[in-house]
Amino acid sequence: MATTSIIVEIDSELAEAVKVLAARRRTSVSRLISERLEALVQQDGAYEAVKRRALDRLSRPVELKWSKPQSRDELYERD
C-alpha cells in the first residue's frame, strides 16, 4: 500500500502527549494517527450506509392495513 505524508500543525503540549501515548502503546505517532483516522473513515462509511438504508425504507409506502369504516355505527362498534 502506498503512503502519503501529511503535515499537521498541533499544539506543542498535545504533540508531547501524543508521543508519550504512542510510546506507551509501543507504536509510532504516525501509526497511532493513521489507525485513528482509518477508524473515523470506517465509522463514517458505516453511518452513511445505515443512513441510505433508512432513507430507502422511508421512501417506500407503509401498508397500515386500515380501511375506512362504511358508516358511523361501524366506526363505534366494539367486539
Instruction: Assess if residue 74 is contained within a domain.
Output: no
Cα angle 55-61-64, degrees, rounded to a multiple of 5: 125
Instruction: Dump pLDDT digits (tens) for 41-76.
Output: 999 999 999 999 999 988 988 888 877 777 888 778
Q: Is the pLDDT of residue 20 over 90?
A: yes
Residue whose C-alpha is closest to residue 37's, from 6, 2, 10: 6
Residue 48 structural domain: 12-60
Instruction: Assess if residue 68 is contained within a domain.
Output: no
Q: One-letter amino acid identity for 71?
A: S
Q: State the pLDDT at residue 65.
A: 82
Domain tally, the chain: 1
Instruction: Assess if residue 28 is contained within a domain.
Output: yes
Instruction: Assess if residue 45 is contained within a domain.
Output: yes
CB 29 within 8 A of CB 19: yes
Q: State the pLDDT at residue 55.
A: 92
Residue whose C-alpha is closest to residue 31's, from 22, 40, 39, 41: 22
Query: pTM value?
Result: 0.61
Q: Is the pLDDT of residue 11 over 90?
A: yes
Which residue carries 505524508 as its cell? Answer: 5
pLDDT band, very low/low/confident/very high, at 79 (cuts 50, 70, 90): low
